[in-house]
Structure formats: structure tokens, C-alpha cells
Amino acid sequence: MLKPFYLRDSEAHKRLLQLAEADGHRSVPEFFAEEPNRFEAMHAETLGILMDWSKQRISAATMNALYDLASEADWKDGRKALFSGAAINQTEGRAVLHMALRADEGDIFEVNDSDVMPSVLDVREKMLAFADEVRSDEDITDVVNIGIGGSDLGPLMVTKALRRFSDGGPAIHFVSNVDGAHLDSVLQELSPRSTLFIVVSKTFTTQETMANAMAAKEWLVNSLGESSVKAHFAAVSTNLDAAGGFGIDAKRIFGFSDWVGGRYSLWGPVGLSIACGVGSGHFKSMLKGARAMDVHFQEAPDDQNLPLISALTGIWSREYLGLETQVVLPYAQDLDRLPAYLQQADMESNGKSTGRDGKPVAHATGAVVWGEAGTNGQHAFYQLLHQGTSIHPADIIAVKTSMSSHLGHHQKLLANAIAQAEALMVGKTKGQVVAEMKAKGLSQTEIDAIAPHRVFEGNRPSTFFLLDQLDPETVGSLIAFYEHRIFVQGLIWNICSYDQWGVELGKVLANQILNEWNEDAKGAHDPSTMALMTRMKT
């Protein structure tokens, strides 16, 4: 178990409160003017990822107090507990060892004193051999991943991110929503003979996934008969019996253990659709990149440790500046599902208000994560980012090497990414606006009427990530970076990052309503719920 930590009782917290008063609202351009080497001091680089947090509203003194906060929370002990296989998922009594799924032969990961690596490596070998077999099977042109949440978002995000590495592999599709239109829209493009379905569900009981898997099976069987299921279905689950009961050939069922959380699972068999898309070689490179980030996280000094620093700047924004969201802006179309993936990874992990001691926490926890690929977001919600009444710290992610042959596009894309970070920080004063308008010959009346609308307050924080390239290794490192950032924040916020009790109530009620619906039974609900049910039924 991780030790409890009471942020607001810590010594560092007291200093951070004072610093929030003194420095939290100072302008970042002022910091730059005072600290000529601010960029040098507030950027770090590893594994082809440069992270620049110099545009955060943070002084050097604040950074030191944040490192002290992490020390008071015994973050190094917590990190050790994570990697040791201790049951840090305390409410479910489980270890949290997704790092084992990307480990190398010779690495040591144990749960209850038992080495998990032989089975991890065995399943990895089998699933990658299967993926390569699928890729070389000319009869299979399309693979459909049926899953939801962690059994969908990670594989979908990575498959898109690594689309350039598919090298003639099958097209990979994703069906998640229990809206049948999702399945229809995918199946309408496909032919049963050339389609492989991979049913991905840790529990193999999830309503949405089971409904989609059954409907896909029916579609296949209607066309090719019952015997086709064995050749056209594979499954990934911890519930091997249920997958077998569905009619899937035991040789095509890939298992994993309960110490892998759904939203942290893409590194193992849950990543089968990624491996079908890019092949075993690229999949292994992705694991290599993630493992390298694990090593970095464990070994880098605090002031170079990317996940630690990013976690701390996030805590500063959330707790001390009172900023409620974290916007993720990938300036890479291939990373356009990263915000959705991070929504689950972060918000399902740290969107909690009960402490590890079972008592309500006294401080702010997980931010609302949202975002969209740049430059599309610029033409949608950046107006609010620049001039809205609320401030949203941004992670801006750009890739140095172009992902397309349109090199002119890439320069424009990068210019936009840097320009946005700069604009958010420097803003534009009334004096500048007025001078510009005067220079354009506008009248004083026009200037008085329009100038206030053209002022940008600035001082809106961002961290800039510059990736050398978007290759499998870097993608692996980037995802592992975010996983560890989430861990550090959960640790300091004293919450249980690896359960997800908050999704249960809605699931239970949906099943209850469904039963009442089918049985025409009357349940006890509030008047609004009852009225809506009646409307839907009639």
C-alpha cells in the first residue's frame, strides 16, 4: 500500500501558498526578463522528447517547493512500491505492473514473490506471432477491434499514431459504442470472408463489447456459417473461460492478469490490433520506448525527470492557481486521438475525491482533460483559450520531422504550434493594440470601440513538447511518460489511481433500467427518469 499523504498539512504546501500569492500571478515574460537562462533551467530532454515548461507560471522558488512537496510525499518510496509489485491498487487488492508488459527478458517483476516475466514473454511471443500471421494472410484485409474504454482508446490512438508503419498490413477498425450505428458503419465497408474480429475485454462481461461481439458474430455466421467463428474471431481477456464460451478457438485467446489496469493495458495482448497493424517489429519498438521511459522515470534526477516535473506543474496549476482543466493539443494529425486516450487514462485514474485513508481529500485532484489536434482546435475553441474568463494550461505537442511528404505543410504546422504557445504567454496589451490601430489610420472613435476586444491578457501557461519524430519508440515513451505523470499526481493527491468505482453506479442503473424495460416492470426512479423512460417506450 502507498502511505497516506496530506498535502495541505505539508511544509511545502505552506511555502507554495505563499509563492502562489507572490509569484503565481506574475507575468511569465517578466520571469524571462529576469532569468536570462530560464529556458535552459526549465527544459529537459530525453528519448527524443524535449519538454519545455518555461512558459508555466512558475518561478525557480516554486519549482524547488514543488520538488520538496514530492519529497514530503515520499514519491521515491511510492515509485519503488509501484515497480516492486506491491498491491498499490489497494481497493482491489492488486499490484499495478503494466510496466512488466513492456519489460525485457532479464527484467524482474514479481507479484506475491512470483516472477511474472515468463508468462508475460510467453504471451507476448504468441500474440506477436499471431499478429504477423494475420498480416501475412492475404485473405484477411480487415481487422476489427471490438472493445471499449481501455480496450479501445489505447489501441485506437496508437494505431492512428503509427499509421505510417503499417507496411501493407490489414486495415484496422474500431467498434466501441453500444450504438449499433457504430458497428454498422464499420461493417458496411467489410466482407465477412476477409475480416478478423478481435474481441478485447478484460472482464469479457462489458455490456457494450458483448453486444457488439454478438452482433458481429451474427453478421459473420449469417454469411459463412457457425464454423467460420474459429477462423474469424480472436479474443483478449483475463476471463479465458468466458472468451472460450463465446466460441473462440483457445489458440486465439490471449490472456493477461488482473495486475494490468484496462487503461494501462495496450502494452500486452490488448495491443493485438496495434500489432496486426504495424507488425511485431514495430510493436516491440514501441515497448522499447516505453521501457526506456520507465528507466528514465526511475533514474533521472528530479530536475530532469519528465513525468515528475510535468506532474508537479500540473499540481501547481490545479491546487495553487485553481485551474480546473488540462488541455492537450497535439500538432500532429496522427496523434489526434491522444486527448481522448488521456481523458480515460487521467480522469478515470485521478478523478477521485476519497483519500487512501478512506476520508474525503481536502485538496483539488484530477483536472478535466480535453483537447483536439492543432490546428483544428485553433479554429474552434482557441478563442476561449486566449480571451475566455477561465484559464486552461496546455500541453502543446509538436513533432520535428514531418509525417507527410508535404513539407510546406509541416513548416506551417510547426509555426502554428510555437506561435500559439508564444501568443498564450505574451498576449497583447491595450497599448500595442491602440498603436497598431493608429498606424492603420483608424479613428479614435473606432479605436475606443474595438481596442478592448482585441486585447489579449496573456500569461496563459503551457508546456511545449517537441518530439524528434513520431515513430514507435517515441510513441511508446510518450504514453509511458503520461502514465507516470498520472502516478505521481495520484500519489501526491493521496488517492487510489488504479480503481474506477465511479463508473459502477451508471452501469448498474443501466442494467436495472434495461431489465425493467424488457420485463415491463415498474422500478422506483425519480419522476424525471420515469417520465423519460415512458417517453422512450411509447
150 near ligand F6P (CB under 6 A): yes
Contact segment (CB under 6 A) with ligand F6P among 145-153, 251-259, 328-336, 509-517 equals 145-153
| Chain centroid offset of residue 283 CA | 18
Whole-angstrom CA distances from 472 to 131, 194, 287, 385, 525 are 16, 27, 8, 31, 49
Q: Is 462 in the site for ligand F6P (CB under 6 A)?
A: no
Annotate each residue in 209-248 with x if it binds ligand F6P (CB under 6 A) or - if it does not, as one string.
x---------------------------------------
Give the dihedral sign, CA 192/196/200/205.
positive
Of the pair 146, 278, the CB lying nearest ligand F6P is at 146
Shortest distance (Å) from residue 211 CB to ligand F6P: 12
Q: Do the beta carbons of residue 367 and residue 323 sit within 8 Å? A: yes
Question: Site map for ligand F6P, 343-382, x if CB under 6 A?
Answer: -----x----------------------------------
Least Å distance, CB 177 to ligand F6P, is 13
DSSP 346: I
Spatial CA neighbour of 263 closest among 98, 150, 154: 150
Tell me, yes or no, if 507 is annotated catalytic: yes
User: 263 vs 410, which CB is nearer to ligand F6P?
Assistant: 263
145 binds ligand F6P (CB under 6 A): no
Do residues 80 and 488 lie in contact, with contact meaning Cβ atoms separated by under 8 Å? Answer: no
For ligand F6P, which residue of 48, 149, 170, 374 counts as binding (CB under 6 A)?
A: 149
Q: Is the peptide bond between 375 and the residue preceding it cis, with omega within 30 degrees of 0?
A: yes
Select 212 or 285, whichever has its Cβ closest to ligand F6P.
Answer: 212
Query: What does the buried/exposed string (b/e) look like for 66-93 if buried means 16 or more CB atoms within 10 Å of the residue's CB?
Result: bbbbbebbbbeebbebbbebbbbbeeee
Q: Using the rule CB under 6 A, give the single segment among 143-151, 316-324, 473-481, 490-498 that binds ligand F6P.
A: 143-151
Using CB under 6 A, which of 155, 169, 262, 307 touches ligand F6P? 262
98 given a catalytic annotation: no
Q: How far apart are CA 42 and CA 383, in angstroms?
A: 28
Record the cell numbers describing residue 376, joined without a space: 483544428
Phi, psi of 298 (to 5 degrees): -85, -25
Binding mask 422-461 for ligand F6P (x = CB under 6 A): ----------------------------------------
Query: Under rule CB under 6 A, which residues in 178-207 are in contact with ligand F6P?
Result: 201-203, 206
Q: How far is the CB of 238 from ligand F6P (least distance, A)?
A: 8
In the complex, least distance from residue 116 CB atom to ligand F6P, rounded to whole angstroms? 20
According to CB under 6 A, which one of 16, 148, 175, 306 is a site residue for ligand F6P? Answer: 148
User: How many whole angstroms separate alpha carbon 80 and alpha carbon 71?
Assistant: 13
* DSSP letter assigned to residue 128: H
Number of residues that bind ligand F6P (CB under 6 A): 14
Cα(363)–Cα(316) distance, integer angstroms: 12
Among 151, 280, 305, 497, binds ligand F6P (CB under 6 A): 151
Q: Give 320's contacts (C-beta < 8 A, 6+ positions apart).
A: 16, 17, 19, 20, 24
Nearest approach in angstroms of CB 462 to ligand F6P is 29
Closest CA to 484 of 302, 336, 294, 329: 294
List the interface residues with ligand F6P, window 390-429 (CB under 6 A).
none
Q: Which of 379, 412, 430, 438 is catalytic?
A: 379
Question: Looking at 348, 372, 473, 483, which residue is catalytic?
Answer: 348
Q: Is 503 in the site for ligand F6P (CB under 6 A)?
A: yes
* 298 touches ligand F6P by CB under 6 A: no
Q: In whole angstroms, give the CA distance from residue 207 to residue 205.
A: 6
Q: Read out DSSP for 4-50?
A: P--GGGSHHHHHHHHHHHHTTTS-HHHHHHH-TTHHHHTEEEETTEE
Helix and strand numbers (H, E) in the chain are: 22, 13
**Are the C-beta atoms of residues 46 and 481 closer than 8 Å to each other?**
no
Report the nearest approach of ligand F6P to the CB of residue 302 (Å). Answer: 31
Q: Would you name the residues annotated as active-site residues?
A: 348, 379, 507
Residues that bind ligand F6P (CB under 6 A): 148-151, 201-203, 206, 209, 262-263, 348, 500, 503
